[in-house]
Amino acid sequence: MATLSDLQLKRLVPPETDRLELTDDKAVGHKFRLTPNGRATWSVQVNVHSEKRRFTIGEYPATGLSEARRQAAKMRADALAGHDPIRDRRTKAEGVMAQQSVAQVLNLYAGLRLKQLKTAGERERQLHRALASHLSKPIGGL
């Protein structure tokens, strides 16, 4: 552990392999990561409901040291109060997804995954045929 400084961060050179991770002793669980391609990020690691979690704060230098420390302290306090932003986002997404029709979810899936396939059109037609009787139903009701 070390006390990080703006000057120290500016002088860092990306590692050739793996990634460099520094722990900031001014904020419990606060980490700085630097990858070989030069991407630098802030995160905070904390236990939520006895589960170790890592929350991304932002990228450096867009998010500076003092702002990252402030956000790390806030995220840590929220986590210790039982809030889990990752779980909250997933729960919200699941609620939104449950309201979508089967057809809407298939179209989303086709746009995200099937486009990459040479047989995307045929695969999409197969899925629509196989699920024809369910297409207008909400995905959460199946």
Q: Is residue 93 part of a domain?
A: no
Could you tell me the two tokens for 35? Answer: 């990858």
Rg (CA), the chain: 22
How many domains are there within the chain? 2
pLDDT in tens, 27-74: 888 899 999 999 999 998 888 777 788 888 999 999 999 999 999 998
Are 76 and 133 members of one domain?
no
- 99 pLDDT more than 60: yes
Written as one string, the DSSP assignment of 48-98 is ETTEEEEEEEEEETTS-HHHHHHHHHHHHHHHHTT--HHHHHHHHHHHHHH
Q: How far apart are CA 4 and CA 126, in angstroms?
A: 56
Q: Is residue 129 part of a domain?
A: yes
| Helix (H) or strand (E) run with residue 137 in it | none
Q: Does pLDDT of 92 surpass 90? A: no
The confidence band for 126, taking pLDDT boundaries of 50, 70 and 90, is confident
Whether 94 is in a domain gets the answer no
Model-level pTM?
0.60
DSSP 88-132: HHHHHHHHHHHHSBHHHHHHHHHHHTGGGSTTHHHHHHHHHHHTG
pLDDT score at 20: 93
pLDDT of residue 14: 93
Domain span holding position 77? 6-83
Residue 44 in domain:
yes
